[in-house]
């Protein structure tokens, strides 16, 4: 187990930051291109996992509160996890609300390090303990491995919440992109079991992998995540026979009643934008308390582009935090 000291950040009472993310998007795209990034699909899985252009967007890892490395003893196999305790929480005291976080990356790339800055910002903004889970990736572990890992990790943390300083009555699930797919699936399964969640946070979610939504065409190229790349990820994760399975395709679930309250964050220039808004509409139609935060001028990877400025990431995290405090 390792720890790291952190800085203190004053959290605002109201969400702050730019109302339009266009400038940050332009800077991120320029930085990505300067490091060799393009719209071409990766030559291989290894090339995707070691892409220097994506790594350049992250910039230096921010300081935060206490960070500890753990291994979740879930059935079948252990899952590495990183636990973020916000800097103003102290080392003792009553349990805090928690968030189980699943990173994006198309089920093929990404991990604890790729999302470190964003998860740290989320812990600082919300005042919650965030547990980032390193689930198994495809193609080595195809569907439903990631979905089963996400569910097993959340069950484990629900049962052992106090071991992590988390109040079991206030546990949320969250994720971005493919990680939001996993979080949505966990929330759906939780509604049919004894697992109780107080919120689900879906950031630029990839909820219906074969959806013919207009934003898939409008923003098919030019903003890092392309329609061709989405297809490449899907081919490495799941076979066509699984496309109708709600574990892969939470947007197709027949019954959304009884789900935890939701916050859905979409980005204007994201090919996945319309999947998020469509799912939001279905949640509301099912009686779920669902809030929408659209980031105008933002692209899909806005939450990982720390190299273009912390304020953009912090503003998005603060908007989520404000929702959780309601």
Annotated catalytic residues are 177, 270, 300
Q: Is the sign of the CA dihedral 247, 141, 304, 302 positive or negative?
A: negative
d(CA 152, CA 81): 13
Closest-CA residue to 123 (of 149, 101, 151): 101
Residues 180 and 206: beta-carbon distance below 8 Å: yes
DSSP string, 37-89: --SSPPSSHHHHHT-HHHHHHH-SPPP-SEEEEEEE--SSS-EEEEEEE-TTS
d(CA 103, CA 110): 7
Q: How many helices (H) and strands (E) does the chain have?
A: 10, 8
Helix runs in the chain, H state only: 22-34, 45-49, 52-58, 116-126, 145-159, 178-190, 214-218, 227-237, 273-285, 310-325
Integer CA distances (angstroms), 67 to 131, 146, 168, in order: 10, 24, 20
Token digits for 47? 């090339």
């Amino acid at each position: 187990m390792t720890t790291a000291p952190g800085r203190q950040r004053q959290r605002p009472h109201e969400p702050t930051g730019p109302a339009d993310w266009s400038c940050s998007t332009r800077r991120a795209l320029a930085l990505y291109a300067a490091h060799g990034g393009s719209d071409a699909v990766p030559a291989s899985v290894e090339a995707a996992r070691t892409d220097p252009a994506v790594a350049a967007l992250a910039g230096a890892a921010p300081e935060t509160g206490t960070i500890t490395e753990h291994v979740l003893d879930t059935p079948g196999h252990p899952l590495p996890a990183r636990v973020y305790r916000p800097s103003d929480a102290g080392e003792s005291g009553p349990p805090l609300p928690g968030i189980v976080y699943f990173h994006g990356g198309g089920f093929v790339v990404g991990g604890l390090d790729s999302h470190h800055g964003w998860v740290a910002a989320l812990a600082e903004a919300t005042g919650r303990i965030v547990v980032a889970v390193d689930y198994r990736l495809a193609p080595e572990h195809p569907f439903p491995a990631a979905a089963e890992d996400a569910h097993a990790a959340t069950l484990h943390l629900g049962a052992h919440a106090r071991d992590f300083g988390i109040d079991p009555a206030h546990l949320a699930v969250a994720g971005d992109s493919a990680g939001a797919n996993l979080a949505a699936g966990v929330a759906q399964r939780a509604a049919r079991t004894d697992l109780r969640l107080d919120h689900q946070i879906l950031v630029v979610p990839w909820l219906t992998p074969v959806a013919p939504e207009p934003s898939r065409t409008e923003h098919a190229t030019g903003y890092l995540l392309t329609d061709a790349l989405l297809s490449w990820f899907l081919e490495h994760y799941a076979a066509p026979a699984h496309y109708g399975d709600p574990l892969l395709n939470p947007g197709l679930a027949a019954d959304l009643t009884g789900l935890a309250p939701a916050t859905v964050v979409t980005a204007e220039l994201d090919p996945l934008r319309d999947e998020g808004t469509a799912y939001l509409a279905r949640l509301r139609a099912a009686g779920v308390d669902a809030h929408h935060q659209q980031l105008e001028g933002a692209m899909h990877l806005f939450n990982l582009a720390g190299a273009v400025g912390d304020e953009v990431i912090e503003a998005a995290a603060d908007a989520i935090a404000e929702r959780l405090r309601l």
